[in-house]
């Protein structure tokens, strides 16, 4: 069973002009967001996207864009307090861990 979080929030974008349909994004996505439809690769389940950024990192043609980050409330709070981008809460200082 696939769990879904909030609808219509994922920032994932696929640039069809750059995409060569190589399929690397399908391979790395842990949430089955991309599918091959005929020849072309497309986004079929954007709401499942957890914004991990794996597709963007591994697309050899820079065709995917997504605001990657961790979906962790604790990290967002900490980021707001320290003024940094929300980072994974397993900080190297090592006290607070959420994942």
Partner 1 sequence: MDDSKSTLCSCCDERGQVESETCRKNEPVTFLFPMYKPEIHEEPQVVYKDNQQNPSIFLYDFVIDSIDTPSGRVPIVDTNLRFKDLIGSWKVRWGIGRMNYRVIPGIYGIGRPDETSPVFVTANYKMSFDRLRKALSGLNAWILVLDTEGINVWCAAGKGRFGTDEIIRQIEKTGLKKIVSHKVIIVPQLGATGVRAHEVKARTGFKVIYGPVRADDIKIFLAEGMKAKPYMRSVSFGFVDRIVLIPMELVQSLKYIAIFFVIAFALHLTGIIEITFSHIYPFIGAVIAGCVVVPAILPWLPGRAFSLKGWILGFLWAVAVIIMNGSLNRLKVTDIFAILMLLPPISAFLSLNFTGASTYTSLSGVKKEMRIAIPAIITSVVIGLITGITGFFIRQ
Residues that bind ligand SF4 (CB under 6 A): 12, 14, 19-25, 28-29, 31, 33, 41, 49-55, 59, 61, 63-64, 66
Instruction: Give the C-alpha distances (Å, rounded to integers) separating 82 from 15, 76, 85, 89.
Output: 34, 10, 9, 12
Question: Which residue, 28 or 42, is less far from partner 1 as judged by CB?
Answer: 28
CB of 50 vs partner 1, minimal distance in Å? 5
d(CA 99, CA 85): 17
Question: Which residue, 31 or 89, is less far from ligand SF4 as judged by CB?
Answer: 31
User: Nearest-CA neighbor of 41 among 12, 81, 67, 14?
Assistant: 14
Question: Which residue, 16 or 57, is less far from partner 1 as judged by CB?
Answer: 57
CB of 72 vs partner 1, minimal distance in Å? 3
d(CA 5, CA 59): 25
CB of 94 vs ligand SF4, minimal distance in Å? 27
Contact 87, 76 (CB under 8 A): no
């Amino acid at each position: 069973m696939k769990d879904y979080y909030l609808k219509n929030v994922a920032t994932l974008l696929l640039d069809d002009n750059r995409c060569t349909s190589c399929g690397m994004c399908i391979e790395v996505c842990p949430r089955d967001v991309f599918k091959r439809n005929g020849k072309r690769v497309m986004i079929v389940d954007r709401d499942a996207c957890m914004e991990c950024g794996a597709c963007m990192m591994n697309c050899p043609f820079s065709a995917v864009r997504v605001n990657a980050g961790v979906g962790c409330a604790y990290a967002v709070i900490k980021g707001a307090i320290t003024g940094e981008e929300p980072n994974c809460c397993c900080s190297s200082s090592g006290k607070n861990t959420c994942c």
